[in-house]
Amino acid sequence: MADYLQPVGRAWRITSIVGCTLTALICLLLSLMLWTDMIRRHSFDYEGKPLWMGAAFVGGIGVAAAFIAWRLLRRRAAVNGVTVMPTWFIQLFGLLLLIGLCFVAYHRGSALFMFEGVFICLAMIFVGRHISRRRRV
């Protein structure tokens, strides 16, 4: 069985830095554009839908991507010594993703949709357990 928490080579690290930096720039600029448009229009909704939630979500992704790029550039791992992001962040994001996945699957009436993504969410939630088990071996 492959161990997915191994160090990667220089080429993958540089590729990840470039990808995360581009993602951060695009997401943060898009979020800034959305926020300035909402402020200019004096409305946080667009056609009755909460636009501010999308702007905050895209901004959060941009901040996370910038944080990852910065940590990769500085060659810093999290306190656990394995991941770049703190374990609590990965677990929290996995939990929020699972809640969103269940919500969308319920409203779509598609159990298959939830089944397709639940394992990724569970892997994110239990990443701390996998790291601690890896350290014991």
Amino acid sitting at position 62: G
Whole-angstrom distance, CA of residue 115 vs CA of residue 67: 30
Q: Which pLDDT belongs to residue 1?
A: 39
Q: Which pLDDT belongs to residue 79?
A: 65
pLDDT mean over 123-136: 81
Average pLDDT over the chain, rounded to whole?
84
Answer for the pair 30, 65: CB distance below 8 angstroms, yes or no.
no
**pLDDT, tens digit, for every residue of 62-103?**
998 998 898 888 877 666 677 777 888 889 989 998 998 888
Q: Which pLDDT belongs to residue 6?
A: 65
Q: Kindly state the DSSP code that residue 8 receives in the 8-state scheme.
A: -
Amino acid sitting at position 1: M
* CA dihedral of 29, 30, 33, 34, whole degrees rounded to 10: -150
The residue behind tokens 């394995």 is: 82
- Lookup: tokens for 36: 């300035």
Burial of 50 (0-12, 13-18, 19+ CB in 10 A): exposed
Query: Quick check: pTM over 0.85?
Result: no
